[in-house]
Amino acid sequence: MIVLGFESSCDETGVAVASAGRGLLAHALHSQIDMHREYGGVVPELASRDHIRRILPLARQALEGAGLSLAEVDAVAYTAGPGLAGALLVGASVAQAIAWARDLPAIPIHHLEGHLLSPLLAEPRPAFPFVALLVSGGHTQLMRVDGVGRYALLGETLDDAAGEAFDKTAKLLGLGYPGGPALARLAESGDAGRFDLPRPKLHSPDLDFSFSGLKTAVLTRMKQIDAADAQARADLAAATQDAIVSVLVAKAAKALAQTGLQRLVVAGGVGANRLLRRRLAAALAPLGGAAFFPPLELCTDNGAMIAFAAALRLRAGLADPSLRRASFTVRPRWDLEQAGDPAR
Ligand code: ATP
Ligand code: MG
Ligand code: FE
């Protein structure tokens, strides 16, 4: 089954063509980062309008890239949540309109399910069951994954997400938006040992996280250093990255130990972080475990993960290919354990 998938939950418009057996056939992506940069964050109304401008040209581009026409598509998929309501509605409306016009099923996909299954687009493909570490701009969760659609929450952040912690501390350091990649870059020339930052919940027995205290700690250190001291700022960036990554690695290893599983799948934008990748590989090797990541360009939001998740759902019998909808809905807030039909 060939699936045409749409992602528009936040500030990336993504369209892709994928199948369960062949994986990704083509994808087209437009990031709105440059547009939102001058505001220091995503402006929801601007995001919705830009999705409207970009989505059809990107759909044409994805189909062309796959060498397919719309007549060869078997199903349409779209991110139905969580995310910005207006932005979600753009992808949902376009997908539903195409499905209605071509008499195709339209499959609503949970955005985090897309992230979570995206490491299956890389080689080697991790086999089920595995533990997933979802680290994105809005979420930090550890999930036990027994198969497509079988997700059990093991732990999550009690306040800020890991990506949010990167973004907020980057802002304090005067770095651009989005802060994660900028902070990681600055950290490369810094000494992580110079500042001792808190590692919240590092030794707690649960699998939860807490990152909101980190930005206060960074703010305090900022006041102690000279803002013009480039080395001090790099050292602080390195210490911040080290603190976030240390907690993520420790909790991921703890989740593997508690579940008795050996495979860890990392998904979401923070999964692009090189220190996280290195530290996880080093921490899991002695435990006989292994970490799996999506292809680097598919760590942040994209249409590929949505088309692919729908294709896997169809193959697993978790989406009805004969279903035609009279109406549809989006869910700005939505628990992954309830992934499936957002209307239910
Ligand atoms: P969600 O998926 O929870 O709705 P989102 O879609 O905004 O949130 P993603 O697109 O998956 O999140 O990831 C974006 C986040 O990843 C941002 O917070 C960004 O700073 C962070 N990020 C991206 N690259 C890196 C990196 N190299 N190091 C650290 N953080 C990074
Ligand atoms: Mg984004
Ligand atoms: Fe995302």
Is 86 within 8 Å of 46 (Cβ atoms)?
Answer: no
Residue 271, annotated ligand binder?
no
Residue that has been written with the tokens 């035609």 in this structure: 324
Residue 9, annotated ligand binder?
no
Atom of ligand 1 nearest to the CA of 11: 7
Tell me whether the CATH fold assigned to 3-116+300-339 matches the one assigned to 128-293.
yes
What was the pLDDT predicted at 94? 98
Atom of ligand 1 nearest to the CA of 241: 29
φ, ψ at 96 (rounded to 5°): -65, -35
Q: How far is the CA of 177 from the centre of ligand 1 (A)?
A: 11
- Summarize pLDDT for 91-136 with one digit per residue, the tens: 999 999 999 999 999 999 999 999 999 999 999 999 999 999 999 9
What residue ranges do the domains of the chain occupy? 3-116+300-339, 128-293
Q: Which of 117, 211, 301, 305 to mutate to test the pocket of ligand 1 (most atoms within 8 A of CB)?
A: 301
Is 14 within 8 Å of 307 (Cβ atoms)?
Answer: no
221 lines ligand 1 (CB under 6 A): no
Confidence of residue 76 (pLDDT cuts 50, 70, 90): very high
Q: Which of 84, 115, 136 to mutate to test the pocket of ligand 1 (most atoms within 8 A of CB)?
A: 136
Percent of the chain with pLDDT over 70: 100
Residue 194 pLDDT exceeds 90: yes
272 lines ligand 1 (CB under 6 A): yes
What was the pLDDT predicted at 177? 81
Q: CA-CA distance, 210 to 160, in Å (whole number)?
A: 7
Ligand 1: which residue has its CA nearest to atom 20? Answer: 180
Q: Which CATH architecture has domain 3-116+300-339?
A: 2-Layer Sandwich (3.30)
The CA–CA distances, whole Å, from 314 to 81, 284, 327 equal 19, 33, 20
Residue 140 pLDDT exceeds 90: yes
Percent of the chain with pLDDT over 90: 92
Number of Cβ atoms within 10 Å of the Cβ of 4? 31
Residue 303, annotated ligand binder?
no
Q: CA-CA distance, 339 to 91, in Å (whole number)?
A: 18
- Summarize pLDDT for 47-69 with one digit per residue, the tens: 999 999 999 999 999 999 999 99
- Summarize pLDDT for 147-173 with one digit per residue, the tens: 999 999 999 999 999 999 999 999 999
Q: CA-CA distance, 61 to 266, in Å (whole number)?
A: 29
7 lines ligand 1 (CB under 6 A): no
Q: The pTM is what?
A: 0.95
Ligand nearest the Cα of residue 134 is: 1
Q: Among 48, 55, 59, which Cα is nearest to 17's? A: 59
Q: Among 275, 189, 179, 193, which Cα is nearest to 234's? A: 189
Ligand nearest the Cα of residue 296 is: 1
Residue that has been written with the tokens 């870059």 in this structure: 185
Residue 344 pLDDT exceeds 80: no
Residues with CB under 5 A from ligand 2 (ion): 10-12, 301
The pairing of beta strand 75-81 with beta strand 263-267: unpaired
**Bond preceding residue 205 cis, omega within 30 of 0:** no
269 lines ligand 1 (CB under 6 A): yes
Q: Which residues contact 185 (CB under 8 A, 6 or more apart)?
A: none
Q: How far is the CA of 235 from the centre of ligand 3 (A)?
A: 29
How far out from the chain centre does Cα 8 lie? 13
Q: CA-CA distance, 121 to 298, in Å (whole number)?
A: 9
Confidence of residue 319 (pLDDT cuts 50, 70, 90): very high
How far out from the chain centre does Cα 165 lie? 15
Ligand nearest the Cα of residue 88 is: 1
Name the CATH superfamily for 128-293. Answer: ATPase, nucleotide binding domain (3.30.420.40)
Residue 135, annotated ligand binder?
yes
Reported as type and span, the H/E element at residue 185 is helix 179-187
Query: What average pLDDT does the segment 19-29 reach?
Result: 97
